[in-house]
Amino acid sequence: MLRYLSTRLVRALLTICFVVTFAFVILRLSGDPALLILSPDAPPEAIEAFRKSWGLDRPLWEQYFHYFAAIAEGNLGRSMRDGRPALDLVLERVPATLALTIPALILKIGIGIPAGIYAALNRNKLADRLTMLFSVAGFTVPSFVLGLVLVLIFAVNLGWLPSGGSDSWVHGILPIITLGTAGAAVLARFTRSAMLEVLGQPYIRTASAKGLAWRRVVVDHALPNAAIPTVTIVGFMVGSLVAGAVVVESVFSWPGVGRLLVVAVANRDLAVVQTILLFVALTMVCANLTVDMLYGWIDPRLRTRRVAGAG
Amino acid sequence: MAITTGSGPSAGEDATTRERNLPPGEIVEKRAPRGRTARFFEAWPPSVLLALGWILAMLFIAAFVEILAAYSYTAMDLRARLTPPVFWGGTDVRHLLGTDELGRDVLSRLLYSIRMSLLIAFFGTLIAATLGTFLGILAAHFRGWVEDVVLMAIDFQASMPFLIIALAVLAFFGNSLILFICLMGFHGWERYARISRGLAISANEQGYAGAVRQLGAPAWRIYGRHILPNIASTLIVSMTLAFPETILLESGLSFLGLGVQPPLTSLGNMVGYGREYITRAPWIMLAPSVIIILTTLSISIVGDWLRDRLDPTLK
């Protein structure tokens, strides 16, 4: 188990390094940051001074190490637009995003997993067909279309709910439903196929052949085994809590991290984009690590098996 | 077993479960009189036929948009701004789907958008498949550190939400159509890499690859002429399943105003600016939305059906 976890931890650290390198490389590839941040017709002395202060006049490998060191200290540069530290800008948007994504996640898990299990247990019956129909719709209807259609119905035509903004909890209802529906559909489809896969296994037949009640077979044998792939996708959803609402936040003008990212990309505010990129990578890696630990808890085989390059 | 259509394989299973309750003699009788039409619809379920019809229609539009569209996608008619479609109480038959805020014909723009979105998704999927297959085969051929690097890149790509990576690249490099298509080509390459690596490794261990190698064929010939044709059906199925995702990604980015840039138009782009007029002219946004949904739905139905027919191993 310890060995298993340590390989995972090394992998997580490598991923972080990879993202930092990725950010560094595209930052340097995209042109001279001095010319990007200052205007091209700034006085040459100013450009020179900027280069010096950012260490751009030093060799590339030295810049690379400086970049790593700066990031480790939490120095991620300043926003070009208002000159505030990019990290502060991002952090102050996080609560707004979480206010959307956490209820949406609860909605996804609360609807998606039971629906998937129920559909698998009633395969090819009406409930299964309906669940699958819902899940196909969730997959093919883009979230911005769903969001806008909800706005059209509930805000424009019926006038029950506000169409955008974040003044009160009422404003959150439509974005949360939009986010939750799409995710629930994905999760239902995934859980269903995981359950069907497990239900076809010989040990399920053995369990029912030895006279176990079907209820016990499902609860004790099918569910724990189907949980393993489902946990992976839930982990991915948890990992994208911070940045999983880019499109929906834009639809509903919700002042979260996603909206900040879109505005920063449009303005080419590199420091902010880079901070969000790293932030997302960090949450994804943490979520993946948690999932890996959960595997060890759910799947006893992993605790004893020697893991050599598994993954 | 992710079945979305609910029609393909389940039809056969319904039959078996029904038969189980019948006395043995009747099974034969039930099977025998199945007509030609029934067999035809079992092989080609109606949902698949409809989906194929829709896809063909979209391809037709994409190919002949210059002839089909009554107006250019930039042609403005300022006196006929925000005309509603004819079935929405509009009276102007020149604009069947109405016009937008600049008096541009929504139907014509829609047709051009279909072509743009399909082209981007097509090239994006093609680039991703080529890149992924190449890297996968590279990993399978060299093993060792090359494989480790490819596997790490796969892990990285799979663990980051692609939308965020795409947005970061767009922020750093700015936007142009070519760059945007290349960016779409980075979406989902890891799936092809994973599949082709696995298949190439197992193909390498089979007799035919060994036989060609013994005959002295160079590596590119073994992979290009012998292994690739053998794994192609799996790759084509994955491409079909990935295609709708690429359409959705493109339309999402264009919706945010960060994908296809005006004056060019794409489906997501149309939804994006149609949103500004959602109270006064919802048809601008609804028309492309319907196309996006029906197209992605059709391609997924066909993809699932292809998978069940060609490649039962894929899940």
CATH for the A93-252 domain, from 1.10.3190.10, 3.40.50.720, 3.30.70.120, 1.10.3720.10: 1.10.3720.10
Half-sphere exposure of B280 (CA within 13 A, CB side): 9
What three-state secondary structure class fits A1? coil
Our count of domains for chain B comes to 1
| Within-domain flag for B36 | no
User: What is the secondary structure of B201-247 as a DSSP string?
Assistant: HHHHTSHHHHHHHHTT--HHHIIIIIIHHHHHHHHHHHHHHHHHHHH
The 8-class DSSP code of residue A154 comes to: I
Are B167 and A262 in contact (CB < 8 Å)?
yes
| Within-domain flag for B49 | no
Distance from CA of A230 to the nearest CA of B (A): 13
pLDDT tens digits, residue range B38-63? 888 877 888 889 989 999 999 998 88
Distance from CA of A149 to the nearest CA of B (A): 8
Distance from CA of B149 to the nearest CA of A (A): 11
Using 50, 70 and 90 to split pLDDT, how confident is the model at B135? very high
pLDDT at B10 exceeding the cut of 70: no
Are B81 and B92 contacting, i.e. CB atoms less than 8 angstroms apart? Answer: no
Count Cβ atoms below 10 Å from residue A303 Cβ, excluding itself: 12
Q: Which residues of B are less than 8 Å from A129 in CB distance? A: 6
Alpha-carbon dihedral sign for residues B95, B101, B104, B109: negative
What pLDDT is recorded for position A39?
61
pLDDT tens digits, residue range B229-271? 888 888 888 888 888 888 888 888 888 888 888 888 888 888 8
| Within-domain flag for B307 | yes
Beta partners for residue B105, in sequence order = B99
| Within-domain flag for B57 | no
Are A266 and B257 in contact (CB < 8 Å)?
yes
The complex's ipTM?
0.78
The whole-chain average pLDDT of chain B stands at 79
Q: Which of A39, A256, A26 is nearest to B171 (CA)?
A: A26
Low-confidence ranges of chain A (pLDDT < 70): 1, 29-42, 50-57, 80-81, 302-311
Give the mutation candidate from B55, B154, B164 for the A interface (greatest A CB count, under 10 A). Answer: B164
Q: Determine the residue type at A246.
A: V
User: What is the secondary structure of B154-168 as a DSSP string?
Assistant: HHHHHHS-HHHHHHH
Whole-angstrom distance, CA of residue A166 vs CA of residue A82? 22
CATH of the domain at B220: 1.10.3720.10
Q: Between residues A274 and B9, which one has the greater pLDDT?
A: A274
* Chain B residue closest in CA terms to A273: B168
| Within-domain flag for B102 | yes
Distance from CA of B132 to the nearest CA of A (A): 19
> To 5 degrees, how large is the angle CA A36–CA A38–CA A82?
100
Residue B181, domain extent: 85-314
What pLDDT is recorded for position A228?
82
pLDDT at B21 exceeding the cut of 50: no
What residue spans define the domains of chain A? 93-252
What pLDDT is recorded for position B17?
40
Nearest to B172 among A26, A197, A276 (CB): A26
* Chain B residue closest in CA terms to A199: B1
Using 50, 70 and 90 to split pLDDT, how confident is the model at B171? confident
What pLDDT is recorded for position B33?
57
Enter the tokens of residue B310.
């060609």
| Within-domain flag for B2 | no
pLDDT at B128 exceeding the cut of 90: yes
Beta partners for residue A85, in sequence order = A78
Beta partners for residue A78, in sequence order = A85
Strand (E) positions, chain A?
none
| Within-domain flag for B289 | yes
pLDDT at B5 exceeding the cut of 70: no
> To 5 degrees, how large is the angle CA A213–CA A219–CA A225?
125
Are B288 and B271 contacting, i.e. CB atoms less than 8 angstroms apart? Answer: yes
